[in-house]
Structure 1
């Protein structure tokens, strides 16, 4: 009997530890969730283009394949890598995070460049379809490309989550990263599935042409193209904001404080100038400042790539 009671005591103790760990996990996950919002928005904005132009019946299966690849990226590759870094090379986390921030800033700046120049982004998939590539091969190509893009965005999400998880306990860190990885994947690809099927739902409703279904269906059909453009714009702004914010935080960690202090001072001044909406305006000012930093950093990377690319192409130093 005493052995059974001792066993029950151990079970109760373990249950308490597990409950405390889960509570800590939930608290930490909630804390880091907002930090990854910008990358999540961009992820949701990028993915729908991988299913455009394909048969409607293949849209959801393709989204499912990409979501499964995204989940494997996060849980099988990035989560173990993050834990190894935490144990053996924690000093590398901030530099890796800054490299990811620089990449986001570059991607955002490149999109701004395309928007301002009117070039538009190249659609390699439309070109492949026009060239008569086998539909299954084209689908596999799109899925592979989407999973590669997702790997970079997922790495940034996991790095942000790791950097903002303050608990020293490795198990809790791992649980937080796993929870964030699963939650982000479900949220992003659930939203993408809704987005890519919205026009089909709208068409079906419009064809029924009921008193309510007709107008709603037509609104969905005609509203999705501008919505996707707006989502892409929001994703671009989010990349610049998050990328710039990561760079500012990283510089602050390495003793370069003036970017963070300058943006903070401007934000506080804006908030103080308009007391009735000070908090919102201060946040907007801070986000705008971070986005400007991201735009400047991305422009520098874009200029370097242009110069280096021109040298390899012509063998001469380009005129600036």
Structure 2
């Protein structure tokens, strides 16, 4: 009898340990996932363009293909690489994170630049000349997977940097949770977005009441505006996150250790909004975003006139961003 009681005690202790570990994983995943907000929103805003002009019946299957590839990218390729870096070359994490911050600043600034100086979307327009629908779908899916890989690498790097040191198993589990949840969130939202106009059209034509038909018409008319808002929020978030990464990276004593501009932003935010709360965060995010925009604008001529032509020469093809 005493042996059975001891066994039950051991089982209870293991259960408590497992529950604590799950809580730790959930806590780390939630904290880390919020830091990748800019990339997540941009991912959701970018992906719908890859099904533009295709057979509506193929929209969800295409999104499912991209989502499966995204999970593979994150869990099979990026997660093991991230954990190896964390274990054996942690000194590389901050430089990689800084590089990702520069990428986010460039992407966000370029979006704003192209609003001020409009041009066609070369990614989509370039493949519209493909006559075979199957070939067009294959081209779009490949393009989307490449874009997803870049954004996934940013998400995983940002997430890994936010996970505190500790058990490798817990870190890997938190990273895997973030990867799966973000993929489900992004492509679930994308699926809703691309089919919402179809749902609206169905309601507008077949609803039994005027209210239902009005809702359907509102959905059809509202989806372009929703995509615009989503793209705008994603751009702002990219500049904020990119600027924040660079500001904190420069301030990090393990990297460069510059006191500014981190010190100035912190002082201004405290003077304007106090030491904590939404106001402090908003002021800090604003200045991080301004810095991100400034750096991104400086990067545009470097990337488009130097790096892109160089890549094109090395790959033997015309580089297009």
TM-score w.r.t. the length of structure 2 is: 0.89
Matched, 1:266 2:268: yes
From 153, 156, 163, the equivalent of 1:155 is 153
Partner of 2:197: 199
Contact 1:125 1:138 in 2 (8 A): no
Structure 1 range deviating more: 83-92 or 112-121? 112-121
Residues 51-87 of structure 1: CA deviation (Å, up to 9, x unaligned): 1111111111111111111111110011101110111
Number of residue-to-residue matches in the alignment:
307
Listed as ranges, the matches of 1:175-194 within 5 Å are: 175-194=173-192
TM-score w.r.t. the length of structure 1 is: 0.89
Q: 2:142 and 2:304 mapped to 1: Cα distance?
A: 27
Matched, 1:90 2:99: no
Structure 1: 5+ residue stretches without partners: 314-320
Structure 2: 5+ residue stretches without partners: 313-321
Q: 1:4 and 1:271 mapped to 2: Cα distance?
A: 59
Contact 2:108 2:236 in 1 (8 A): yes
Shift of 1:310: 9.9
Q: 1:242 and 1:296 mapped to 2: Cα distance?
A: 14
Q: Secondary structure at the match of 1:212?
A: helix
Contact 2:127 2:139 in 1 (8 A): no
Listed as ranges, the matches of 1:12-51 within 5 Å are: 12-51=12-51
Shift of 1:10: 5.3
Shift of 1:227: 1.4
Q: 1:311 and 1:280 mapped to 2: Cα distance?
A: 43
Partner of 1:234: 233
Listed as ranges, the matches of 1:121-136 within 5 Å are: 121-122=121-122, 124-132=123-131, 134-136=132-134
Q: 2:120 and 2:25 mapped to 1: Cα distance?
A: 43
Shift of 1:308: 2.3
Q: Secondary structure at the match of 1:54?
A: coil
Residues 89-119 of structure 1: CA deviation (Å, up to 9, x unaligned): 0111111111111111111111111011122
RMSD over aligned Cα atoms: 2.3
Residues 256-291 of structure 1: CA deviation (Å, up to 9, x unaligned): 12111111122222215xx9xx94333222111111
Listed as ranges, the matches of 1:70-85 within 5 Å are: 70-85=70-85
Partner of 1:318: none
Shift of 1:309: 6.4
Q: 2:309 and 2:124 mapped to 1: Cα distance?
A: 29
Matched, 1:284 2:286: no
Runs ≥4 residues deviating over 6 A: 1-7, 309-313
Structure 2 vs 1, CA of residues 309 and 155 (structure 1 numbering), >3 Å: closer, same or farther? closer
Contact 1:38 1:235 in 2 (8 A): yes
Structure 2 vs 1, CA of residues 31 and 306 (structure 1 numbering), >3 Å: closer, same or farther? closer
Contact 1:53 1:126 in 2 (8 A): no
Residues 122-159 of structure 1: CA deviation (Å, up to 9, x unaligned): 2x434423342x11111111111111111111111111
Matched, 1:143 2:145: no
Q: 1:114 and 1:25 mapped to 2: Cα distance?
A: 40
Structure 2 vs 1, CA of residues 311 and 22 (structure 1 numbering), >3 Å: closer, same or farther? closer
